[in-house]
Chains A and B, each alone.
Chain A
Amino acid sequence: EPEVTQTPSHQVTQMGQEVILRCVPISNHLYFYWYRQILGQKVEFLVSFYNNEISEKSEIFDDQFSVERPDGSNFTLKIRSTKLEDSAMYFCASSEAGFSYEQYFGPGTRLTVT
């Protein structure tokens, strides 16, 4: 069964460093998403991406964040200058189409900022 994959599973970085989180969405899916979950809290939407552009973003997704689809399979989230409060689990998701379709999530990348 096709699944969303994410690398790395755990990333430790120092405050102020740039990190790139990588995702490979399900191959026939057209919409891609990033969410984050701070430990013990609910899952929060960051951004959605379709047709090589951002279709929606939340207030959390400020200028420190960017997304890219560098090739036909990868989808990345970059955090330019990490802060302690960026420590969280970051989930990538994809869906076949937009509004009415379920989103399938990857296993997550745990980001720890020290």
Chain B
Amino acid sequence: AQKVTQAQTEISVVEKEDVTLDCVYETRDTTYYLFWYKQPPSGELVFLIRRNSFDEQNEISGRYSWNFQKSTSSFNFTITASQVVDSAVYFCALRNSGYALNFGKGTSLLVTP
């Protein structure tokens, strides 16, 4: 069985604060892929990052960074110096032996000026 848990339902921060969105996953497979997607208020799903189970290197892309730790089955997402445009629902997703993306319930991030 596979499962993705995003324990934070809603987070509210003030602009320029750093914020970390947590993602914990469960899978029995040794080969799997983890993803983050952003869903802004307009509703579309925007791909942010893919990480495979054999690559535990952290990744940084501008103000975004991701921390993958197999030992704790976590794939956390940090936004540095948050901006109002970062306000969205963020989904973590897991894909192992099949084609389906298994999404977490999402974390709603609100960044206020």
On whether the beta carbons of B45 and A91 are closer than 8 Å, the reply is yes
Q: Which of B45, B98, B102, B105 contacts A105 (CB 8 A)?
A: B45
List B contacts of A98 (CB < 8 A): 99
With A42-B104, A42-B105 known as contacts, the answer to whether A99 contacts B43 (CB < 8 A) is: no
On whether the beta carbons of A104 and B52 are closer than 8 Å, the reply is no
A105 to B48, CA, bound (A): 12
Residues 17-50 (chain B) with a chain A CB within 8 angstroms: 33, 35, 37, 42-47, 50
List A contacts of B1 (CB < 8 A): none
On whether the beta carbons of B44 and A99 are closer than 8 Å, the reply is no
On whether the beta carbons of B35 and A45 are closer than 8 Å, the reply is no
Q: Chain B interface residue count: which class?
A: 20 to 34
Q: Chain A interface residue count: which class?
A: 20 to 34
List B contacts of A89 (CB < 8 A): 43
A102 to B37, CA, bound (A): 10
Is A44 at the interface (CB under 8 A from chain B)?
yes
Kindly name the residue among B37, B44, B99, B105 whose own CB sees the greatest number of chain A CB atoms within 10 A: B99
* Residues of chain A at the chain B interface (Cβ within 8 Å): 31, 33, 35, 41-45, 48, 50, 55-56, 58, 89, 91, 93, 98-108
The distance from the CB of A103 to the nearest CB of chain B, in whole angstroms, is: 6
Is B75 at the interface (CB under 8 A from chain A)?
no
Interface of A is mostly: strand
List B contacts of A48 (CB < 8 A): 98-100
List A contacts of B84 (CB < 8 A): none
The distance from the CB of A2 to the nearest CB of chain B, in whole angstroms, is: 13
Is B103 at the interface (CB under 8 A from chain A)?
yes
On whether the beta carbons of A31 and B103 are closer than 8 Å, the reply is no
Which are the 3 A-B pairs with shortest beta-carbon distances?
A: A45-B100, A48-B99, A105-B45
List B contacts of A43 (CB < 8 A): 45, 91, 93, 101, 103
On whether the beta carbons of A42 and B106 are closer than 8 Å, the reply is yes
